[in-house]
Structure 1
């Protein structure tokens, strides 16, 4: 491949990463809609959309009808583009100082989009999310507005995670658990409530599962460790050091998935439990191959390799719970 072809390929890859909101982008984008999409970080929508699927599976009430397909698609739109987009835009708004250190190519620190335009985007996404949540309650015939309440609760968690005075992300444990539960428990509850009756067993199990999500959230802290140190943010890599934080991360990811498998055995879902445990094995392999050897260099490679097995395990757990009638 010629140098010019390589350069074009690298430029195209950088622009794709930029549009998806990934690490390793470049500045210079001028299209407003692309900048708005970059703020919403589409790459982060996937686990929330998947969480809705897992919740629908655990409800035991999802059937393949046209109406149910439209309902779950609307719930995916709520959890992914609208509420994850709101959360990511809000986070970028309050993180503009630290992004100027860690990711200066981001739309706000680079000056590519104005603060009033960002605030408008936050309000529009929040308003659309709340409206859709209420609409789903009406569609599902809920006596209590569960979908609206979950949307409002998720919006509140996103706010206190990013905004002062609480700014939960300043605390490595609280912030990462808030993030993990928002990516696993909240969309799971939404999918379950849309097609079944949300109960305390599902709530507690998914909050337990979210402790594995805490480990995944910690992986994202390694890319910003230098800026976190400068601004006094107590992420786990800052508090414990790179190597210790990496071990905390992988232990939480593995142990709490195994704990869910243990519960599946308890409710006589042995086959599903065995599949879930088998899906943990490649995650451990990639942790050893990539993440534990160099978490600063290999964080993205590890996530791309290992997370498909984690999210597939979530669906296995959801199907098991639905099958058990939990």
Structure 2
């Protein structure tokens, strides 16, 4: 006779269940319903997986300042800016986006906290304001800590929260337009944390602002990847995402071209400022990125979007750091 299953293992989650719960907690596609801890639900709304690029942007900004040194104070200052850019302001952005996207999510991702009824709208609104106020207050603390005459970090935080609001909320709701919405998202993920990190340790000037704004055009391509998971809901509700406007395959090509072309443009700029070794490294990082684009994304953008991001995006973020180090080395600060 077959052995009976021990009673203490009957309710043990399977590996697939654990994976689904982890994905849900991180705010990733392919999660599963059923979370009951209200604090985990609050964290899920903040989508921790999306904090990483902004935290990395602070690192790139510190590198481009050319003045970062490994002192305890600088490490603490950088870590505080990462807390500002990641959990607080990105958490605010993701929460307010989920609040205004609850009808779309009911179609595309019904397991999300709001459409599934796992959390009340009152709690969601409270979270939005707590993260907003905490973020702006911490930005002002960083300005005082750094001794800025003009509150640069606070201004960047205010701009970021404003962009997050008009991206998600009517009447503007920038995400209704695939170009404007995705560029606003790209700028928020690249330009704003980079400028904040740079301002903490160096003098933020127009050259750095322009460079990060241009780099954000590559970020537009990354932002488009997120639109493929919600094509059906966007189409039903009249949102003009690029996959809806141009079709899935054409939008996939627009996405990869934007990423690759503007990274190559940054490499060209590095050659212009005589940082040729850094330029070569940046171009070499684009090669495996193109490989994964062809291997995964261009073949099946609807099903391979997450796999593509996991395999190709690390090369983009490493390229950002290479560019930051080059700018710091060249003394453009």
Deviation at 1:27, TM superposition (A): 1.0
Deviation at 1:315, TM superposition (A): 0.2
Deviation at 1:5, TM superposition (A): 11
Q: If the length of structure 2 is used for normalisation, what is the TM-score?
A: 0.96
Deviation at 1:25, TM superposition (A): 0.6
| Residue 130 (1) aligns with residue 136 (2) | yes
Structure 1 residues 46-195: aligned runs within 5 Å: 46-195=52-201
RMSD: 1.3
Secondary structure of the structure 2 residue equivalent to 1:243: helix
Distance 1:152 1:244 in 2: 35
Deviation at 1:288, TM superposition (A): 0.6
Structure 1 residues 206-245: aligned runs within 5 Å: 206-245=212-251
Count of aligned residue pairs for this structure pair? 324
Distance 1:14 1:27 in 2: 9
Q: 1:25 to 1:287 in 2, by over 3 A?
A: same
Distance 2:281 2:11 in 1: 44
| Residue 261 (1) aligns with residue 262 (2) | no
Q: If the length of structure 1 is used for normalisation, what is the TM-score?
A: 0.98
Q: Structure 2: 5+ residue runs without aligned partners?
A: none
Q: 2:210 maps to what in 1?
A: 204
Q: Structure 1: 5+ residue runs without aligned partners?
A: none
More helix by share: 1
Secondary structure of the structure 2 residue equivalent to 1:24: coil
Larger radius of gyration: 2
Moved segments of 4+, more than 6 Å: 4-7
User: Which digits, 9 at most, give the CA deviation of each residue in 1:29-50, with x for residues without a partner?
Assistant: 1101000000000000000000
